[in-house]
Amino acid sequence: MWAWSSDHQASYLVEDSVASGCSAPGLPYAPTEFSTRQLEEGTTPCLGLCVLGVLIYLPATGQHREASSTQVQERLDDLQTPATQLYPRLGSNLGALTCSAFTERYASLKNDEVRREVEVVVRGRVHSFRIAGSKLVFLDLVQEGHRIQGLCNLSQLSTTGLSSEEFRAFCHRLRRGDIFALRGRPLRTSRGQLSVQVTALPELLSPCLHPLPTQLHDKTTRIRNRHTDFLVNQRSSDLIRLRSEIVCYVRRYFLDDCQTEVQTPILAARAGGAIARPFATSATEFPERQLVLRIAPELWLKRMIIGGHDRVFEIGPSFRNEGLDPSHNPEFTTCEFYRAYTNIDELMSITETLFSGLARHTTSLIRETFTSINSPNIDFTPPFRQIEFIPAIEAAIRRELPDLTSATAQADLVNLFHDLAVPLPTSATLPRLLDRLSSLYIEPQCTAPTFVTNHPECLSPLSKSFAHSGAHRVSARAELFVNGQELVNMYEEENSPFEQRRKFVEQLNYRDDENTASIDEDYIEALEWGLPPTGGWGCGIDRLCMLLSGTSRIGDVLSFGTLRNVAASTKGS
């Protein structure tokens, strides 16, 4: 008996192995160990060549593109036979099961039990295979993270007139990454592995024309070839699936709260709802008008409340034309809800309930399903700690802050920075000075889930405000921080058109290159129709997914990475 493996790891991936890690003579691609060379930063497209299982990235010159084309053509020539249709239409779904459904339906099978009266079809990508003699091949198919073994024995195939040589030629053409349909009977082997006893020659649905690596570690290579990363690294796929579960949980929570999910404009004349630099563009229909991608959906959602929709939420993209770092991307996903007749205490209570339940849910998923992810050790048991913005800073610096509503507030804070030997921010406006103090003295205290409350009024122009702690005017606002990172922002919405105008005018004093604040007359006019007392809440979905998956880079929880990754992965960029 002869045997060979397409994958040095196959000896523990499939059953009844008779050889461990020996390559088949004459096979053009027989990966044994996969490694990568660090790509240089830049925009030059790269080409991956697999040599003895090692993927080497080279600049995509004409010569290398030709080599790749030759490699693909050789694979196509090897696959072409009179009876082979490389990209057939999908046949009947009668008896078809996903790998997950097959596992669940036949989990009760005992060792050596075969359901001979049942015929099923499972489809998936070849993860590994082993040829054990001239008449037997084992295939492992994967689909959506679930794996099924197929036992393909020539003596049990119903295919008419299939000779040993034809079967052997079929096995020789198998490659990791090929997509197949297996038709057969449910079986549990003597060793307890749930399998499909194949009764017809496996049908090739789509070939993989490139050698599929067995490992892929280099971060740059993984992001630039994200589809390959998903195929090779289970954790990369698990992170995206966990993200989907998180979004579904959040959506169900708000739907169960009788909230209406809405979609508001992404492209409009105003970015609205936050202070940041927007992306600007124009429309063919009216090129003379500048349009921007939204920074936040807030003002649109509050118009919904004015219009009589007392509970609304939206999960969708927003954009900020700012820098990238491990926790920021110019395109990001947010969830915002607005709820009439809701105050700041209720908003914090909702946050505690939502996050404690979500943390339990994701921990269970990581333990039972997405096992490649390491569950973070964060205790979301309510109640969360609360600290007040101004008293926390004053306690840290051991002196009182100046009157932040006075005409000299900015100059007084600049002097305070000099006394503390703290570098000034690039743009030393009053809000940015206070933000810097918060980042230095408050955020480092917020490792466990912590609400920071009662921010100075100038930091929250859309929030209601009130006199607090003597001379200071503060906002009815709270931010949730975890591990020193802001996760949620919430406040009681300013519903007086007169106060809102005053606050918009005050924000004009803080304009700089990034803060292009203006007076939104349309929104003020909408407020004149009456906005009921309303609580607003916003959470960054990307950062939430990072936190609950223990991931330190935002690109890991985005399907195709950050804007830098997307731009670099485009041919000719």
Q: Which residues of the chain are under the pLDDT cut of 50?
A: 1-61, 64
- Decide if 85 is inside a domain: no
Domain end: 206, 222, 249, which one? Answer: 206
Residue 81 confidence (pLDDT): 76
Residues 373 and 279 in one domain: yes
169 inside domain: yes
End-to-end Cα, the chain, rounded Å: 52
Instruction: Tell whether 458 and 314 lie within a shared domain.
Output: yes
Q: State residue 370's pLDDT score.
A: 96
Q: Give yes or no: residues 246 and 197 share one domain.
A: no
**Burial code of 99-121, b = ≥16 C-beta within 10 A, e = fewer?**
beebeeebeebeeeeeeeeebbb
- 183, 238: one domain: no
pLDDT given at position 515: 66
* Whole-angstrom distance, CA of residue 255 vs CA of residue 76: 51
What's the number of domains the chain is made of? 2
User: Same domain for 276 and 157?
Assistant: no
- In this structure, the answer to whether residues 198 and 296 fall within a common structural domain is no
Provide φ and ψ at 56, rounded to 5°. Answer: -115, 125
pLDDT digits (tens, 9 = 90+) for 73-113: 988 988 887 767 889 999 889 899 999 999 999 999 999 99
- Give the integer Cα–Cα distance in Å for 242 and 393: 37
- Contact assessment for residue 314 and residue 264, using Cβ atoms and an 8 Å cutoff: yes
For tokens 């998936």, the residue is 124
> Rounded distance, CA 97 to CA 184, Å?
12
Residue with tokens 């223990």: 550
d(CA 25, CA 109): 38
Q: Are residues 202 and 238 in the same domain?
A: no
- pLDDT (0 to 100) of residue 571: 64
Residues 195 and 244 in one domain: no
Q: Are 145 and 234 in contact (CB under 8 A)?
A: yes
Residues 270 and 375 placed together within one structural domain of the fold: yes
Asked if residue 73 belongs to a domain, the reply is: no
The residue segments making up the domain with residue 352 are 234-569
Same domain membership, residue 331 and residue 372: yes
Q: How high is the pLDDT of residue 4?
A: 36
Q: What is the DSSP string of 277-325?
A: PPPEEE-SSSTTSEEEE-S-SHHHHHHHHHTT--EEEEEEEEE-----B
Q: Which residue has the tokens 């007076």?
A: 519
Q: What is the pTM of this model?
A: 0.85
Please answer whether residues 203 and 123 qualify as being in contact, where contact means their C-beta atoms are separated by less than 8 angstroms: no
CATH number at residue 432: 3.30.930.10
Helices H / strands E in the chain, number of each: 16, 23
51 belongs to a structural domain: no
What pLDDT is stored for residue 217 in this prediction? 83
Say how far apart CA 454 and CA 475 lie, in whole Å: 5
> Is 434 a member of any domain?
yes
Whole-angstrom distance, CA of residue 248 vs CA of residue 357: 13
d(CA 449, CA 460): 22
* Burial call 339-359: b when 16+ CB within 10 Å, e when fewer: bbebbbeebbebbbebbbebb
537 vs 553: CA distance, rounded Å: 24
Residues present in the chain in total: 573
What pLDDT is attached to residue 66? 61
Q: What pLDDT, in 10s, does the model give residues 143-172?
A: 999 999 999 999 999 866 788 888 999 999
